[in-house]
């Protein structure tokens, strides 16, 4: 009985990455969809990205 429990526990520990892994990042935006559906927000996001790149470049 103890061996079976140990094997089950070992299996769960070894495969815990697969049990709790996210399939995708929900914070990622679909830029094409955003550009089609909300062009103003898309433009603000692009301006912000440009600002950040310039800030990092001159820092």
pLDDT in tens, 3-55: 777 677 666 666 655 555 555 565 567 888 888 999 999 999 899 999 999 99
Q: Domain limits at 40?
A: 30-59
DSSP state of 30: -
- Phi, psi (deg, nearest 5) at residue 15: -105, 15
The structural domain count of the chain equals 1
In a domain, 34, yes or no: yes
Query: Do the domain assignments include residue 41?
Result: yes
pLDDT at 52: 93
Q: What local confidence, expressed as pLDDT, does residue 17 receive?
A: 57
Domain presence at residue 7: no
Q: Which of 59, 58, 34, 28 is closest to 46 using CA atoms? A: 34
Question: What is the pLDDT at residue 59?
Answer: 76
pLDDT value, residue 37: 92
In a domain, 39, yes or no: yes
Q: How far apart are CA 6 and CA 2, in angstroms?
A: 6
């Amino acid at each position: 009985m103890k061996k079976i429990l140990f094997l089950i526990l070992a299996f769960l520990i070894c495969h815990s990455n697969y049990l709790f892994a996210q399939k995708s990042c929900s914070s990622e935006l679909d830029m094409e969809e955003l550009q089609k559906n909300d062009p103003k927000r898309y433009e603000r996001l692009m301006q912000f990205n440009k600002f950040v790149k310039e800030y990092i470049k001159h820092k």
